[in-house]
Amino acid sequence: MNLPPLSSGVPLRADSSASPREGNHSNREQAGETVLMSKKLITQKWRFVPYEKPSCHVSRYELDRHSHLVFAVVWMVFVKHNVTISVLLNLMLHSTRL
Tens of pLDDT, residues 31-80: 555 655 555 555 555 555 666 666 666 566 666 667 777 888 877 777 76
pTM (predicted TM-score): 0.22
- Rounded to whole angstroms, the Cα distance separating 31 from 41 reads 15
Please check whether residue 95 is in contact with residue 78, taking contact to mean a CB–CB distance below 8 angstroms: no
Higher-confidence residue: 15 or 61?
61
Higher-confidence residue: 94 or 98?
94
- Residues contacting 89, CB < 8 A, separation 6+: none
Domain ranges (residues) in the chain: 1-48, 60-97
What's the confidence (pLDDT) of residue 43? 56
Quick check: 17 pLDDT over 70?
no
Query: Helices 85-97 and 60-80 meet at what angle, rounded to 10?
Result: 160
